[in-house]
Amino acid sequence: MSRSLLSAYLELIAKARLTRDLNQIELVSRLQRVSDDLQSNRRGLGLYIHGPVGTGKTLLMDLWHHNVGQHHGSLRKHFHVFMRETHSQLHDLNVKTRWTTSDPLVTIGTDLAQRNAILCLDEFQVHDIADAMILRRLFEAFFSSGGTLLATSNRPPERLYELGLNRRLFLPFIDTLKKNCEVFQVKSSNDYRVSVTRATASHNFSTDSAYFAPSSDPTIRSHFFGAWALATGGQEPLPLTLNLPGVGRTLAVPKSVTSPFGSACLMTFDELCGQPRAAIDYIALCRHFHGTSNSGIYISDLVLLRDTMFDETRRFITLVDVAYEERCPLYILSEGSIEDVFRGIQETKASEGKEKELRVAKEGGASSSMMATYIGEMEWSATGLKASMADGGAGVSDVRFSIARAQSRLTEMQTEKWRNVERFTRI
């Protein structure tokens, strides 16, 4: 039998594992309303939770999922993973039916609601046109089939896919979302990830954590590569090829080890983020290189990001999000502190207030035949656009919006507590 969410929350406070916060208590009451609807077999509104980074949105949704939702068949996914799986299902269904299904997204959304009546999505953010173009049809089918959505985001619904290509086609999804979910704003400005880290961890990122800076200091470099040598256990690193399911390609890892000390890899920032990568690349990496205390991804030569490096910045933020979600440690040798790395990402006035339209010839133009999304006769690549985000659009807007979250998560990830202790979502 599921337990009261409030009792679970108060128990964590009593054990000094959480700090009493009135904003969080208000959110707990909203989540409890969802629980009451489920207990009474009523289909009420879902809940879209947005607010600043580090305020407990994900923690409380996970607390609800583990202590209440799972008893009602809830499914919990990170948004990156959910969309990757949806595109894969879309491709498989189209191939299976020889592209004759009138709208496979209706089938996928209906099946999802029938299997898991409650869907919990963490870090709801839309910056890929392939995602933007399928969300309305997918979730209209999900909601009409009785599904309930719980989601967390740093953005209110009105700012999803802001400045995105063909955003006018995305706007009906926002209306669908608001019709089926109560929108709740967490108004707290206290970033608990940062405050807890500052209270419990050393500020010397170069020696007492997994963040080594500045990389120009020979001693700092020695500490970083010494940590990598410890992870190898004296073995010679070997190249590794990871298969990326559903996209028809692989990811080359130049240096990797698997030993009794852990499974780890060493890659430069340029190898990880300086060339075309997607969330699926980072998911594969993080799921392969985690486990014991010395496992993880070792990243050398992280540079100070500049306002011409939006593509690289977006990829790095995606890597941080995936590593945080998968609990995969990142050991980083950086040119500057966590704050300094992002300082150079400035506002680009030319992109403000402009929404872009994209036209694709009906014969296609997708960068991969493995996955595609169709709007009428238009085909959209599910692997992302080839154009640089330096021209503006939803990618640039989301990069700036996501920097605070990345800094907050990187700060928390430096502590031994984060690397070695499971998050307390079930008590």
Calculate what percentage of the chain has a pLDDT beyond 70.
Answer: 76
Parallel/antiparallel/unpaired status of strands 181-185 and 118-122: unpaired
Pick from 236, 315, 248, 322: nearest CA to 285: 322
| Residues with Cβ within 8 Å of residue 367, at least 6 apart in sequence | 381, 383, 384, 386
CATH architecture type of domain 5-185: 3-Layer(aba) Sandwich (3.40)
Across residues 77-91, what is the average pLDDT?
A: 90
pLDDT of 55 higher than 50: yes
| Residues with Cβ within 8 Å of residue 170, at least 6 apart in sequence | 126, 132, 133, 135, 136, 160, 161, 164
Domains 5-185 and 202-344+396-420 equal at CATH topology level:
yes
Across residues 88-107, what is the average pLDDT?
A: 84
pLDDT of 47 higher than 80: yes
Of 164-168, 236-240, 252-256, 270-274, the poorest mean pLDDT is in 164-168
Rounded to two decimals, what is the model's pTM? 0.66
**What are the tens digits of pLDDT across the range 338-371?**
999 998 884 443 344 555 554 444 333 333 333 3
Enumerate the domain spans of the chain.
5-185, 202-344+396-420
**What are the tens digits of pLDDT across the range 18-36?**
778 888 888 999 998 998 8
The torsion angles phi and psi of 426, rounded to 5 degrees, stand at: -120, 130
CA dihedral 174→175→177→178, nearest 10 degrees, is: 110
Q: Is the CATH number of domain 202-344+396-420 2.60.40?
A: no
Across residues 250-263, what is the average pLDDT?
A: 86
pLDDT-based confidence at residue 400 (cuts at 50, 70, 90): low
Distance CA 187, CA 398 (A): 20
Calculate what percentage of the chain has a pLDDT beyond 90.
Answer: 42
pLDDT of 89 higher than 80: yes
Query: Measured in whole angstroms, how far is the alpha carbon of residue 104 from the centre of its chain?
Result: 25
**What are the tens digits of pLDDT across the range 125-158?**
898 888 999 999 999 999 999 999 999 998 999 9
Radius of gyration of the chain (CA): 22
Distance CA 128, CA 392 (A): 13
Lateral strand order in the sheet of 211-212: 211-212, 330-334, 296-302, 262-268, 249-259, 238-244
**What are the tens digits of pLDDT across the range 209-239?**
789 999 999 999 999 998 898 888 778 999 9
